[in-house]
Amino acid sequence: MPVNVDYTRAWDLLNSVFSSVEQAYAEGLAPEAPTDAGGMVTDACREVFASNTQAYREVLLGCIVAKLLSPEVDVRRPYVSQGDHAFNGRTLDERVINKLLKQEGIPSSAGPYLSVFRRSVQFVPSTREGLRDKAGYDALLRVLLHIEDLNSVELEQLLRYLLYEFGQLRERATVPIAQPGRISLEQYRSLLSGLLGSPSGGRFPLLLVVATLMAINDAFTLGWEIRYQGINVADSASGAGGDITVRSGDQVLLAAEVTERVIDQSRVVTTFQSKILPAGIDDYLFFIRPGAIREEARGQAQRYFAQGHEVNFLEIEGWILMVLATIGKSGRDRFNRTIRNLLASPEAPAFMRVAWNHQVERLTAS
């Protein structure tokens, strides 16, 4: 009998694993490559992704998902009419594979991947005769041969590797940035919460704070120079006193660190000794998430205050909302343009543009 793949479970599985891979990607972590003698499968996977036939990599993804959910599946038989252990590859693609790729802004086929093959195709060597891209198809067959004997742990490892490669494709593609219409302050609250909760390796908090400072500067014509540096760039190496430095002429008005980590006393002491004192910074801000500071850190900051040094903590979301309320509609328009320009820059990964688009779409749908 043909195998009935649970499409709801398939969707949940693919979303869950992709979210995990995206989180790791944002933090600069790559999944392990497939384990095989001599790296033949890794090379074959790379050939599949290098192929101009997008359907091959989509076939591969669909076959792995089907095999993970139903080990009895024959991955070479993507039509239920093909008998025992066959599965419905077309429906799996429409409801899960192609749907996720489009949702995540990943380059994909316009229609079902099986449309590039003749009807009732089987993924076997004889099929290559009717295909233009024979080398890419041969690479696909080598991977399919490998996955037929994998256990669930090995299959999930291969799935993570493939989804990472799909993410790499997205980084090389052009992802347009959605332009929101009018946004109320309550909608800004939802937008900020969604962006700050998106995996970004700390990039969203940084860019949102930078965009807010730039909006303040423009709204009140302050003439500030606002410099910021990439995530995980050592301040000492760049000569900066923090992630963000605000200057007026030669004077440093403010240095700030934007962090998603919990701040303890040792973090405050280290920052003071390595950045604040050497650079002679009068006003240092930690931009943090709610609840991300320990009481002993506050106590240490108070001791520095008593010695004449300003070390303060601000919750990102609440501060941005207060600023947006203060600078008025024209200021909020500046903020919108600025954050979109920052996301459009080559330094911003494509996954951030996709996350922005998702949050804007969510606003317009509500």
In angstroms, the CA 295 to CA 317 distance is 20
- Phi and psi, residue 288, nearest 5°: -130, 170
Question: Which one is predicted more confidently, 197 or 34?
Answer: 197
pLDDT of residue 329: 93
Q: Which domains does the chain have, with CATH numbers?
A: 7-172 (no CATH), 185-365 (3.40.1350)
In angstroms, the CA 114 to CA 225 distance is 55
Mean pLDDT of 2-11: 96
pLDDT of residue 221: 95
Q: Sign of the C-alpha dihedral, residues 201, 205, 207, 208?
A: positive
Query: Which residue is associated with the tokens 């688009």?
Result: 357
Query: Under a CB-based contact definition with an 8 Å cutoff, are residues 109 and 98 in contact?
Result: yes
Strands 283-288 and 251-258: parallel
In angstroms, the CA 192 to CA 182 distance is 15
Q: Which residues lie across from 311 on neighbouring strands?
A: 284
Amino acid at 17: V
Question: Which one is predicted more confidently, 308 or 296?
Answer: 296
In angstroms, the CA 106 to CA 85 distance is 30
SS3 labels along the chain: CCCCCCHHHHHHHHHHHHHHHHHHHHCCCCCCCCCCHHHHHHHHHHHHHHCCCHHHHHHHHHHHHHHHHCCCCCCCCCCHHHCCCCCCHHHHHHHHHHHHHHHCCCCCCCCCHHHHCCCCCCCCHHHHHHCCCHHHHHHHHHHHHHHCCCCHHHHHHHHHHHHHHHHHHHHHCCCCCCCCCCCCHHHHHHHHHHHHCCCCCCHHHHHHHHHHHHHHHHHCCCCCEEEECCCCCCHHHHCCCCCEEEEECCEEEEEEEECCCCECHHHHHHHHHHHHHHHCCCEEEEEECCCCECHHHHHHHHHHHHCCCEEEEEEHHHHHHHHHHHHHHHHHHHHHHHHHHHHHCCCCCHHHHHHHHHHHHHHHHC
Mean pLDDT of 271-289: 90
pLDDT of residue 200: 92
> Exposed (0-12), middle (13-18) or buried (19+): which is 33, by Cβ within 10 Å?
middle
Residue 236 pLDDT more than 50? no
Residue 237 pLDDT more than 70? no
Q: Sign of the C-alpha dihedral, residues 44, 50, 53, 58?
A: positive
In angstroms, the CA 209 to CA 338 distance is 11
Question: Which one is predicted more confidently, 242 or 239?
Answer: 242
What's this model's pTM, rounded to 2 decimal places?
A: 0.88
Residue 238 pLDDT more than 80? no
pLDDT in tens, 113-172: 777 788 889 999 999 988 999 999 999 999 999 999 899 999 999 999 999 999 999 999
Residue 239 pLDDT more than 60? no
The helix-helix angle for 152-172 and 40-50 (nearest 10°) equals 40
pLDDT in tens, 300-324: 999 999 988 899 999 999 999 999 9
In angstroms, the CA 102 to CA 99 distance is 5
Q: Which of 43-52, 164-173, 234-243 shows the lowest mean pLDDT across its residues?
A: 234-243
pLDDT of residue 38: 64
Of these ranges, 17-21, 27-31, 147-151, 276-280, the one predicted with the greatest mean pLDDT is 17-21
Strands 310-315 and 251-258: unpaired
Mean pLDDT of 246-253: 91
pLDDT of residue 230: 66
In angstroms, the CA 217 to CA 222 distance is 5
Mean pLDDT of 291-302: 94
pLDDT of residue 116: 78
The tokens describing 252, both together, are 């440093």
* pLDDT > 70 in the chain, percent: 96
The mean pLDDT value of the chain amounts to 91
Query: ∠ CA 163-165-168 to the nearest 5 degrees?
Result: 115
**Which residues 6+ apart lie within 8 Å of 326 measured at CB?**
none
